A and B are shown apart, each in its own frame.
Chain A
Amino acid sequence: MLKVKRNPGKAPRTAKSKPKSARSDSVLDLNSAGEDHSDHEQPTASSDDGFEEPTLSKKTPLPAATNISNPAKKNKFRQNDPSKNVKPPTLEEMKELRDTRNLFHSNLFKLQVKEMLEELQLKSKYTDFIESWLESFTAFTRQLKDGLMERSELEVPLSLPQKASGFIFSKPTREPFLIGAASTGTLLGPKIVVDVALEMPKENLHKEDYLNLRYDQKRALYLTYVTERMRESSEYSQDRFAFNYHANNPLKPVLELTPVAKQVTKHLQIRLFITAPLSSFKPGRFVPWNNNIRPAFYGDEWDEGEEPLPSTQHYNANVLFDLTLAENQAHLDKAFKGRRNFQDGLLLLKVWLRQRELDVGYSGFGSHILAAFIVYLSQQRILHQSSSSYQVARTVWNQLANTDWTSGGISLAPASVQKEDASKKSASFYDVCFMDITGQYNLCSNLPLSLYQRVRAEAKLAVDLLNDMKLNSFPHIFMQKCPLYSRVDNILKITNYSCINQMLMLHSQPRFKYDYAKYGHPQLFQLLTELLQKGLGERVQAILPLETATTAWSVDDKAPVIGKHIQLGLILNPEHAYEVLNKGPAANEDPEGAAEFRRFWGDKSNLRRFQDGSITEAVVWGTAQDSPSKKRLIVRQIVLHLLEHHLQVEGKDVQYIAAELDQVYQLSPWYKIKKLKTKLPLVQDTDAEAVSPHVIRCYDELARQLHGLDDLPLDIVSISGISPVFRYCEPEPVLPQARLVDGRILASHVQRVVIQLGQSGKWPNELAALRALKMAFLIEIGEKLEAQCLLKWAITAKGLLVLKQGFCFLIELAHSKELALLKQEVTEKGVTTYVDNPASRHLERQQYILPKVTGSLHSLHQTHSAFGPTVLLAKRWLATQLLDDGLWPAMATELLVAHLFQQRHAPQAIVAPQTGFIRFLQLLAHSDWNGDLFLLNFNNSWQEQQIADLEHSYRSDRQSYPPLVVATSYDQQHVGRLWTSDEAPSQRVLGHVTRLARHALEIVETSLMSKDLRFVRPAQLFRASNEGYDLVIQLKPDLVRNSLCYDLGSPFVSFGQPNFELPRAGAENRVADIVNQLRSAYSDFAAFFYNPHGGKELAIVWRPPTEFAPKPFKVTEMQGCTPCGNGKVQVLKETLLEDFKLLLKDFYLRISTPEELKREQREHQQPRRYFNHPESSGAPPNKRKVQSESDDAKLEKPVKKKKQLIRNSSVRKTSS
């Protein structure tokens, strides 16, 4: 009931006086009226690409007008409003300001790009050094003399079967010149690599040198000779010399020279290439269809009469690279010299490319292709000479995405050089074709089709990101590191030497051997992709090579043999990857096809009869009922089968990295599912993901029953589940174990359900009465459920507990009036307002927003089936790092992962949970928590303007937001305050998580990219370090329930007897409750850590000693203080410990330091270990010995680091 006090005497309002004053204003206005207002400008629409070069022509009419009126205006401003004193705008300012406003998005982008380019700008000391170095090197080459190279002290950097003898060196006739980035002015840090080419004179080469790698030998010898002379020369003798392969190409050794000159030695490196003039060989010698390596060279026999010699297009291109280098470079230089905009544009593109690691290795998409493409586009008049750097980058992306170089390709060569049919013919020899200026060399000769498509997809994504006005795309395009391995779903790694040799010897076709001059990597790539592509078909989107750049070796060492291992990344197609069936042709209609199919699949293929009546050959990889995690391994099954069937490579010799970490959300092997009485089809090796649907099905049934209840005073209009399991985000398997014992419901998990009733005007206006009535309704529902559906129930303070099919549900009743009453406040004027407060926010979140978010996340899981399992991995990881809900809210994890899946950071969706997890780690490791806003725009219901406003308020008022800000489009009015708070996660926890994630990523990356290591075992990632904690409170194991998910062991104690006793429903998180109590009372003195998934230890870190120092008496700061003399007081740790003991009475086993615990563990090592699963590495002492040394070393390091982490974080506390 709202009441207004009104004074009857003074009813008329003051409103009447207002029109009057308005009128008087307008009278005054008339005085100044009369001037024309034709110069009222309309802001002209600007072009979309924000920052064009200042082309004045476009807007001339407008500035003229402003110019004329400017002097007059100036005065008037002064007269009218002397206080404001607005400076009249200049022409440039007007233009710039208008751009700012109209193109806010890209303008910000422009500023960011500007900053980045400034950051990338090469310091003059480097450019000066390069210049002087080249000068001195030219002088050096001039004094070189012709001569016979007799015996070289250095090893020739080429591993070839035969050695060439008697090499006669002729001095170079052409001055060395810069090539690549150094020449086009687009050198990129942090390691600046300056490429210099030295041309072998024609005299050095014979007519016959084109054949059988003779050219390459000469080239290597020439390089060796020059290197030797350089080493002898006093000028270079101090420098560091090393050889390396250019682009992992064993035929292209280069000299890597690190000058000792003090100012540059750290960041500068010079690479010396040896080239040859194009005229050295007969034109047409190296056209793609020629053979330049005879089979006889490798001791093979080839009958030329029967079959023409196989073409060696890749080898030819390899030579042509050297021959055409000078001309191509000259052409590039012409386009880039003096054009800062092109150079900057290329720099931007190079940054983009390098962040994606697409330019690595033999098959990489080198940045020289991009440079040539820019030249091509400007030749085609698609790029204007004066386009800005941004336009250059954008156009290149656009053109990359929209042109196709695969059939016919494109060419830099002028039409006069290039003959139409010839270019067609040469293009047919390569996957991707981009001919150079001479029309002979294909710049993309080594680029496999899949990688090219990948580059295109990335380019398309970049354009899309730029077009998305709701996003500040700059960091996504340029700043974020997205290594290729984190963008593929599965990885196939073959490093076994004998395996590789066997494949190369027996299975690689001879023509590939000649074509690639016996280099292993491309041959293997060819072989494997061909096989896998055929076998996997639609299941896989792309098979990408994952290469690492070769490391340099000393000039005195022998050249290493490379290409003896291969790593392939598979990008799966989510729609088809997990199909259980490969259907072949029908046996009766296409017998040949069927036979072929059978041959391909071997004995896996069977003749099957299908429901539609067809009888066909088919391969079955599983059943439709298999759990999702099992289905995710179908591709692995197929790949391993194909490898074995076709290449005789056994599964143990290869590593197929997929679902390595899925184990952590599996059902604990200690829990025997057989003992559980249930009608549901459950197996022992089930996991959290697989059991979620059971719960959801049961919930659906319950919802149906609730809807169907008769005789309720009000109908139930909406039912929504809000527990994580309804979004597939519950990392512990929820089993149907709940039951009634002695009138009490026991359940390990309670699923929360929110219901709403139909409208009624009779609800009370008082909070307590409303709650009483709600309770009455719940009891009524409970009684009806028992009477009509025979379900057991119990009423609790939090809601109605209902037991159904072994699952326990807690039904809450939501009513909008309760929320309104909680928010209600009466201002001093007597006006009722509704203000958010913590209690109302909590209620709104639980009963109104969470149901919506649950729905959205549920549907997200339906579209991206990897979402759920990724969350499970992420949650498990955080839990095992001893971060519970109070330190890092579980919802934040879910929403961050959802953000990963929603945001388009990669051209394709994440298909494998493991990839999702790695991306999650990347997100944690590389996010700038202070600057990033995580917005989840479900259903795209967030308007552009709203987002811009929000971002603005966020930046200008950062302090009022919590350290981590996550918001969904459903909680716009609470932005950032609903899912996270100032305490969870706090600044310190965020820092801790970032460091943990970086460390975890490091482990993953090294194990992934290394030749020798196996992929990380879950125990390496999913177990926290035990260092850095001050105290450990061990809880009684029989009072704390073990988690049902696969336990990788506690960091403090070894495995004990597991305890799967069912707790009472509604009190299943006993430890969480206790820790919450401890935190609320003692967080000023200590931080508490525990593993929410069945952790039985509480780890404590004291706050820094300053908190415990004596301080003067102050009434408001006496918490926990004891007098310590001199009128001062202090907090004693001992007293607090007594408190902990009191609060944990009956729960704690002992309190000790981690070191003590460890010692004790060692002493009391039980000889019998009941519960060590053979696979689990829970028993580190005996397991670790098996590991290789390098593995051990790696394990050592992290421990130290983590110790530091926690120390650091405590130190930070002191400083803040």
Chain B
Amino acid sequence: MVELEGYTVVPLRTSPDAKHCHSVYMREHFIRLMDPNKPKGRTLFLLNVPPYVTEESLRTVFSQMGTIEVVEFAAKPGKDETLKWYEGTTEPFSTTRPPFRFKVAYVVFQKSSSIAKALALKSIDLFNSSGECIIKTGMELWHDQYENNYLLDAQKTKALIRKYMAGYDKRERAAAEAAKTSEADADGWVTVGKDGRNAGFEQKESVVGRLENKMARDKKTKELTNFYTFQIRESKMQNIVEMRKKFEEDKRKIELLKQSRRFKPF
């Protein structure tokens, strides 16, 4: 068993007679600020997981060590990396898939005893008893993807949509209901919605921007510009500064072009 920097290094075999295998680096997950989703003492951290390894396959391998709560991936160790990895993939009818590259994995066991058992593994074997790889690749994966993820069954999809929309409508209604009740909370804050008597303006960038612009415009109309001599002088000065700047810019541009030897016609 190879140890490196506190990690247990085990080969990841895709077939019983695999010679050149990837090395997976395992250790118990431990950092100062623990993520509640990756509880201390029960989470196994795997480094250098090849791109084709799936959650299910890791689950299959590690379920021998004890019941598994969850298997999650991330591009690299760090806060919120797992969230980023799965961003946009969990919603229904989304076509986004998690990236296909080398990653890290977190395996959360139910019992902390499973960790030690897992760390004692000789190798991670991604094949079943008959020596077949449990990861779908090549033609098999392609076929599977096409049949199950690409093609949809119209009737089933319709039912799914109906169910989802019903849930959505319910949520919407609840939210609308909540918006109408304008009661102050414990700190004395009231949530103001678009509707109702005390409706606030929509907090959109465009709306806010428009208001701010209007304020600036109002202010401008009240001010006199280019009226007093000092203002004129200043604006003139500004003018000169600007022109100088532009000239310098042009010169720089030429300098740049000169460097790339663009002035030799032949």
Residues of A bordering B, CB below 8 Å? 1-9, 15, 18-19, 22, 25-26, 29-30, 32-37, 40-41, 73, 76-77, 80-81, 84, 86, 89, 93-94, 96-98, 100-101, 104, 107-108, 111-112, 115-116, 118-120, 189-190, 351, 354-355, 475, 478-479, 744, 764-769, 771-776, 779, 782-783, 794-798, 827, 830-834, 839, 928, 930-931, 952, 955-956, 1039, 1064, 1066-1067, 1070, 1073, 1077, 1080-1081, 1113, 1115-1116, 1118-1123, 1127, 1129, 1132, 1134-1135, 1137-1139, 1142-1147
Contact = CB atoms under 8 A, between A and B. Distances in A.
Contact of A1147 (B138, B160, B193): B138
B186 interface: no
B92 interface: yes
Contact of B52 (A35, A1139, A1147): A1139
B158 A1122 contact: no
B122 interface: no
A1 B260 CA distance: 54
Given A76-B233, A834-B205, A1122-B23, 15 more contacts: A2-B203, A8-B188, A18-B215, A33-B227, A108-B250, A118-B263, A769-B165, A827-B205, A831-B205, A832-B204, A833-B205, A931-B260, A1064-B146, A1118-B102, A1147-B139
B130 interface: no
6 contacts: A81-B237, A775-B161, A832-B205, A1119-B102, A1139-B52, A1145-B137
Contact of A773 (B165, B215, B222): B165
B202 interface: yes
Contacts of A115: 254, 257-258, 263
B99 A1138 contact: no
Contact of A795 (B152, B188, B243): B152
A434 B19 CA distance: 84
A1070 B21 CA distance: 27
Interface string B169-189: 000100110010000100011
B219 interface: yes
B47 interface: yes
B67 interface: no
Interface stretch (B2-10, B36-44, B56-64, B110-118): B2-10
Interface of B: 2, 4-5, 9, 14, 18-23, 25, 47-48, 50-52, 76-77, 88, 91-96, 99-102, 133, 135, 137-140, 142, 146, 149-154, 157-158, 160-161, 164-165, 168, 172, 175-176, 179, 184, 188-194, 200-205, 208, 215, 219, 222-224, 227-234, 236-237, 240-244, 246-247, 249-251, 253-254, 256-258, 260, 262-266
Given A19-B222, A479-B262, A1115-B47, A4 B200 contact: yes
Contact of B91 (A7, A190, A744, A767): A767
Contacts of B14: 1138, 1142
Contacts of B142: 1067, 1070, 1073
B77 A1115 contact: yes
B203 A779 contact: no
- A-B pairs with lowest CB-CB distance, top 5: A1145-B138, A1119-B102, A1146-B139, A771-B93, A97-B243
Given A32-B228, A190-B266, A5 B4 contact: no
Given A1-B179, A4-B203, A1139-B52, A18 B247 contact: no
B47 A1118 contact: yes
Given A8-B188, A1144-B138, A1132 B100 contact: no
A101 to B, nearest CB: 5
A425 to B, nearest CB: 41
A1143 B138 contact: yes
B152 A796 contact: yes
Contacts of B262: 475, 479, 928, 931
A107 B224 contact: no
Contacts of B133: 1142
Nearest to A780: B158
A1139 B205 contact: no
Contacts of A73: 233
Contacts of B224: 26
B4 A479 contact: no
Contacts of A1119: 48, 101-102
A764 B102 CA distance: 37
B151 A794 contact: yes
Contacts of B96: 839
Contacts of A116: 263, 265
Contacts of A831: 203-205, 208
A1039 to B, nearest CB: 8
Nearest to A114: B254
A98 B243 CA distance: 7
A1067 B146 contact: yes
A444 B162 CA distance: 84
A207 to B, nearest CB: 46
A389 B14 CA distance: 75
A772 B240 contact: no
B256 A955 contact: yes
A771 B91 contact: yes
Nearest to A1132: B20
A833 B2 CA distance: 51
A713 B8 CA distance: 61
Name the residue among A1066, A1132, A1138 with the largest chain B CB count within 10 angstroms. A1138
A1127 B5 contact: yes
A80 B23 contact: no
A108 B219 contact: no
Given A26-B224, A1142-B52, A1113 B102 contact: no
Interface centre among B25, B140, B150, B256 (most CB of A within 10 A): B150
A112 B258 CA distance: 9
A1080 B101 contact: yes
A73 B20 CA distance: 80
Contacts of B48: 1118-1121
A662 to B, nearest CB: 33
Contacts of B138: 1142-1147
Contact of A112 (B92, B139, B257): B257
Contacts of B150: 796-798, 1066-1067
B246 A100 contact: yes
A725 B139 CA distance: 29
Contacts of A6: 189-190, 192, 200
A766 B168 CA distance: 9
B235 to A, nearest CB: 9
B263 A3 contact: no
Given A769-B164, A930-B260, A1127-B4, A355 B246 contact: no
B22 A1135 contact: yes
Given A4-B203, A115-B258, A768 B93 contact: yes
A98 B249 CA distance: 14
A765 B165 CA distance: 12
Contact of B229 (A33, A475, A1067, A1120): A33
A37 B232 CA distance: 7
Contact of A33 (B19, B146, B228, B249): B228
Contacts of A769: 164-165, 168
A1122 B20 CA distance: 10
Contacts of A15: 215
Contacts of B241: 86
Contacts of A34: 229
Contacts of B20: 1132, 1134-1135, 1137-1138
Given A5-B192, A1146-B139, A100 B23 contact: no
A637 to B, nearest CB: 39
Nearest to A827: B205
A77 B247 contact: no
B95 A111 contact: no
Contacts of A98: 243
B254 A1 contact: no
Contacts of B149: 797
A755 to B, nearest CB: 17
Contacts of A833: 204-205
Given A119-B264, A775-B157, A1139 B50 contact: yes
